Amino acid sequence: MLKVDLHTHSIASPDGSIRPDDYRKIIESGVLDCIAITDHNRIDFAQKLQAELGSDKIIVGEEISTRQGDIIGLFISKRVQPHQDIEAAIAAIKNQGGVVYIPHPFETVRSGIKREDLERIIQDIDIIESANGRAYFQNFGPQAHAWARLRNIPSFASSDAHRANALGKTYSLLSNIPTADNLRDDVLKARKFYIRPSILDILAPKMNRLKKRLRIM
């Protein structure tokens, strides 16, 4: 079984701090077998590290800001334009053979997609995030799992790590190396592992933004 995390943020994200060496160490040590780098509205960091470590280790993704909230495109090769309607962002993901992954649904603090918007795009959703490694004050994981199960949509556990120490705490086990073709079916059989986040995991995005403003990161 392979330990897979489909939602992480590198130092290329405004609120991320995970460096290339951090990803290398996590992969080489076996803490995780495959990691999606899903920076906010950009894919250049993920593409560069994938070219070095291989597509079996690094998945290129993007957490896209839409007018209805955040969505993630996985296995993409072109950046999806942010700040458009969710339907347009989904079309841009699908047109390049990507996978639509919904992070932290129902949350209001972190721009989660609302229930009524999810119902509208239900035919285009490939995976729902039912365990988020930073969920604490608003943990809608159980509701997300129930919503997805009733609609036969696969659900997944990912870290949403913004710092290296959060990697390997929340992930899912898959039978095969993830690809755009096999991921949805494999996720239906995935086992999920979730560890309650530390206060540092929760505050990491705000701390990282502050450090970058002060130019100490």
Q: What is the mean pLDDT, run by run of 10 residues, along the chain of 217 residues?
A: 98 98 98 99 99 98 98 99 98 98 92 96 98 88 95 97 98 98 94 91 92 88
User: Structure tokens of 87?
Assistant: 């339907």
Q: Could you tell me which residues are beta bridge partners of residue 60?
A: 37
Sequence-ordered strand ranges (E) for the chain? 2-8, 34-40, 58-66, 69-74, 99-102, 127-132, 155-158, 171-174, 191-193
pLDDT at 110: 83
Tell me the residue type at 104: H
- In angstroms, the CA 38 to CA 61 distance is 4
d(CA 163, CA 11): 9
CA dist 117 to 60, 120, 149, 216, Å? 25, 5, 17, 39
CA 46/CA 110 separation, integer angstroms: 22
pLDDT in tens, 49-79: 999 999 999 999 999 999 999 999 999 999 9
Q: How many C-alpha atoms does 43 have within 13 Å on its Cβ side?
A: 23
Domain 2-213: assigned CATH number? 3.20.20.140
Q: Is the pTM of this model over 0.85?
A: yes
Burial code (b: 16+ CB inside 10 Å, e: under 16) for 88-106 equals: ebbebbeeeebbbbbbbbb
So what's the pLDDT on residue 187? 96
So where are the chain's domains?
Answer: 2-213
Going 172 to 176 to 182 to 186, the CA torsion angle's sign is negative
What confidence score (pLDDT) does residue 139 get?
86
The one-character DSSP state at 114 is P
C-alpha span between 217 and 210 (Å, rounded): 9
pLDDT at 215: 86
Most distant CA atoms of the chain, gap in Å: 47
- Find how far residue 180's CA is from the centre of its chain: 15
